[in-house]
Amino acid sequence: MTALKAVKVAPKGMGLNDFVAQQEGYFAAEGLDVEFDWKTFRGTQSSWKGLEYFQRPQDRPYTQPNEDVIQGACAWGTVSNASAGMGRIVRGGYGISPWAIFVRADSSIRRPEDLAGVPIAVGLRAGSHFNVPYRLERYLPLEEIKIVNAGGFGARLQALLNEEVEAASLLPPQIAMAEQLGLRKVMEDEFHTIWWVPANAEPATVRGYMRALDRAEAALAADLPRYLNLWELAIPAEFQARPWDYTRFGRGERFVYQPIPQTEFAEIMAQVKRWGLDQYLKEYDIEALIHEPAA
């Protein structure tokens, strides 16, 4: 019997595919013995106050030796991370995730335009951050769009509840959590996510991982209610005692087993530069950033 290949994965927690693939044995069917990197995952949910780029929890596997981890993030963040020297972009698949800005129920903020000059809680240089200028600039000049680095989604949601901020940029499952907590949605949209891996990751291992996510996607499409309780795995420690109704959490991020449109890469580079967030970009040739270049 062939031994399974040991692989460490840090789930994003924005969708259920990783958890379904583990539960249903799809990783094992691809010859992978997946270990979830809960330390990195929980770190991405926690506060990042005082942490600079390269110091965030998701950066550490790439700035510390012998920490090879498969991760995923927003398309902007993944491209920026790879360009800054942290890993390589996986071309084979991408995610589609909801995004929203929430305020407290008693807030006077009701429209996107009301967010002019209001600091919005985000996670530094991650999807919750990049989405704010990208989506809000339809309503406000860039100079009136303000952010504050609160960190991961547990920290952002807690900061909003504690009245430390007036608004927060949220992703699944904190969108569903915010709705159950009675917070009010000001605007919403969707964005793309992509995976990134160490430069030395074995292509066969990465392809097997993506196939397992695709099988999980099919399982979710066939019987979503069966898996909704798996959202419990994505709840930060400080919110686990609450009686969440997982049947109302919905789908979250969806996995698409095909390459992300190449036109997005040029737009990502251009937008990151416009936003003044290109300080750490070193490599602008996207093909040089792809883990497994096209044949």
For 39-50, what is each residue's pLDDT tens digit?
A: 888 877 777 777
Q: Is residue 144 classed exposed, middle or buried when 0-12, 13-18 and 19+ CB atoms within 10 A define those classes?
A: middle
Cα separation of 289 and 79, whole Å? 8
Tell me if 5-97+192-289 shares its fold with 98-190: yes
pTM: 0.93
Cα separation of 213 and 96, whole Å? 13
Q: Enumerate residues 6+ apart whose C-beta is below 8 A from 38.
A: none
Task: Name the architecture of domain 98-190.
Answer: 3-Layer(aba) Sandwich (3.40)
Q: What is residue 74's three-state secondary structure?
A: strand
What is the percent of the chain with per-residue pLDDT over 70, rounded to a whole number?
A: 97
The full set of domain ranges for the chain reads 5-97+192-289, 98-190
CATH number of 5-97+192-289: 3.40.190.10
Q: What is the pLDDT of residue 294?
A: 47
Q: What is the pLDDT of residue 216?
A: 98
33-91 pLDDT per residue, tens: 999 998 888 877 777 777 788 888 888 887 776 668 899 999 999 999 999 999 899 98
137-184 pLDDT per residue, tens: 999 999 999 999 988 888 899 999 999 999 999 999 999 999 999 999
Rounded average pLDDT over 224-246: 94
pLDDT higher than threshold 60 for residue 295: no
